[in-house]
Each structure stands twice: as C-alpha cells, then as structure tokens.
Amino acid sequence: MWPQRVSILGVGLLGGSIGLAAKKHISGCHVIGYGHRESALDSAAGMGAIDKWELDAAKSVAGADLVVLCTPVGLFESLLGQIGPVLEKEAIVTDVGSTKRSVVRLAKKHLPRPERFVGSHPIAGSEKRGVGHARADLYQNARCIITPAPDTDAKALEQVEGFWKTLGMRTTRMSPDEHDRLLSDISHLPHAVAAALVAIQTDKALSVCGKGFLDTTRIAGGDGALWRDIFLDNRDNLAGGLRRLRDELDRLAAELDNQEADKLRTWLDAAAGRRLAAEPRSHPQQNP
C-alpha cells in the first residue's frame, strides 16, 4: 500500500491524527514527524502517532513517499524552501491548510517538481490544539477538498485522493480559487463573525450567556495567530464576505425598524429550513 513512508511537518491535532490514522489503516506505514518542540514530538511518538522525529525539516523528508504540511499556513513558505532541494524524486507533497491559492503558488516557487504538489483541505479538526487531542478517527466520514492546479500530475492527484479515502474521508475536487471563495464563506467568515459577536459583548452579558451563545461563538476560541494567518491569506474573499453580510444585517435592521413581520418570518423560515437541511445525517462525525 502507498505510501510506505510519510513525513508529517507539524505534529499537532491535525498532523498527529494523520499519523494515528495512517498507522491504523496503512499496513507497514512508517511515519516521521517534524516539529520544533521536543516535548510535543515525544508525546506524539509516545501515543503512536509517529515512529520517529526530526527537528530539521529537510532531514525529516529523507526517503518520504508523501510529505504532508500540517503547520499553520504562515510557515509553509519556509518549510517548502527547506524541503524543496532534498525531496525524493517520486515524493508527493500535500498539506492540510485552510487556504489553497497561496500554497499552490508557493509550491510552484519552491518545489523542483510542483506538478507533484496536490493541495488538500480536510474539513476536520476542532478549536482544540495539540497532539494530545489527536485521534485516529478525526478524519473518518469527514470531507476533504482536493485542489488540483492545471498542471498537477494526474497520478499524483489520484494518489493523494486515495490517501485521504484510506483515512476514511469523502473527497471533492475544486480549483484553489473556488476553494478559497467557498471556505471564506463557510469557515473564515463565521469565525470572524463569532469573534465580533464576542467582541461587542459586555462582561455582564457574557456572565449570563447560555448554550446558544456559547455554540454560536465556540469557534472564536481558536488560536489567534493561526486565524490571523488564514484571514490575511484569504483577505480579499473574507473582506468581500464581511461586506455582503454587513449588507444583510443592514437590510434586517431596516425591516425591524419598519416592523415588516411577513418579510421577517419568511427570511427566518428560509434560514431555519436550509440550516436544518445542512445537518449531517449519515455522517455524524463530520467536523469543522
């Protein structure tokens, strides 16, 4: 089974879960972890997510069939620069980043065979961080978006798709441009709005909030540096989404001023219907 040797660059929740799942589902698979904190790498090895680790990214990809970038997207350029010169000729590189245009551009710039880079975005994870939360079933039944560029090698694309399927995922292909637009609306914009909803509250209001508010703003508890990188990387789409949402809120405020009961009811019913229809039925473990 392919791959027999996987290098995971960044062994946190996502990277650690890939290691656990690869070792569970791929017979004989050897996993090397790269990171900058020995204690985290020791934990990852202790829980069986990786077989060995390196503190040097270039060393960690020696002999790798598949390299998976699992750090925050802000570190991708540095990592690709380090591994580009030493990758095996047949190695395929993929990633788990939340934005895709920039990593495809960086792969073109830094990798000797950019056609063997295949962007991936497994829609899984949580606001929790660190390999301590990693699970072999994190990706089970969740969706993975694969974002081939026009020059992506067809065989490499199939192999990366097969890898995520082996880990239990359902895959969907789209262009990096479409991915970034879509993820802005479905993930980055909700994150921004959740943070804004927290930002405008008084401490007293937060002290009496209930489960509804806590659910609505749960994602705002995510790591600030990580989300800053995502926001900046996808800033054109996100700023556009914020302005579309702003217009929707303005329209709603005007309907309230004018007491337009029927319009409000129609709008609320439509949102309720679409939200309930989006609830996963057969895939209860689907994740962010």
Compare residues 36 and 243 and give the one whose CB is closer to a second copy: 243
For a second copy, the binding residue among 164, 211, 281, 282 (CB under 8 A) is 211
Phi, psi (5° rounding) for residue 27?
-60, 130
For a second copy, the binding residue among 53, 76, 164, 231 (CB under 8 A) is 231
Q: Does 2 bind a second copy (CB under 8 A)?
A: no
CB of 254 to a second copy, least distance (A): 8
Q: Does 126 bind a second copy (CB under 8 A)?
A: yes
Compare residues 155 and 228 and give the one whose CB is closer to a second copy: 228
Cα distance from N-terminal residue to C-terminal residue, the chain: 29
Residue whose pair of structure tokens reads 């909030």 in the numeric block? 209
CB burial of 89-117 (b: ≥16 within 10 Å; e: otherwise) equals: eebbbbbbbbbbbbbbebbeebbebbbbb
Q: Does 197 bind a second copy (CB under 8 A)?
A: yes
Q: How many residues bind a second copy (CB under 8 A)?
A: 89
- Amino acid (one-letter) located at 41: L
Classify residue 94 as left (phi > 0), alpha (psi -120 to 50) or beta.
beta
For a second copy, the binding residue among 28, 89, 257, 281 (CB under 8 A) is 257
Beta strands at 143-147 and 119-122: parallel, antiparallel or unpaired: antiparallel
- 215 alpha-carbon distance from chain centroid: 20
CB of 160 to a second copy, least distance (A): 18
Compare residues 1 and 253 and give the one whose CB is closer to a second copy: 253
Query: Which residues face 172 on adjacent strands?
Result: 145
> Considering only residues 262-281, where is the footprint of a second copy by CB under 8 A?
264-272, 274-280
Interface stretch with a second copy, choices 28-36, 45-53, 59-67, 209-217 (CB under 8 A): 209-217
CB of 85 to a second copy, least distance (A): 29
Burial of 214 (0-12, 13-18, 19+ CB in 10 A): exposed
Peptide bond into 3 cis (omega under 30): yes
CB of 111 to a second copy, least distance (A): 26
d(CA 80, CA 111): 7
Compare residues 104 and 219 and give the one whose CB is closer to a second copy: 219
For a second copy, the binding residue among 39, 259, 281, 282 (CB under 8 A) is 259
What is the Cα gyration radius of the chain?
A: 21
Residue whose pair of structure tokens reads 């990214």 in the numeric block? 57
CB of 148 to a second copy, least distance (A): 17
Mark 154-193 with x for binding to a second copy (rule: CB under 8 A) and - for no binding: ------------------x---------x--xxx-xxxxx
CB of 245 to a second copy, least distance (A): 6
For a second copy, the binding residue among 39, 210, 281, 282 (CB under 8 A) is 210
Residue whose pair of structure tokens reads 């806590």 in the numeric block? 214
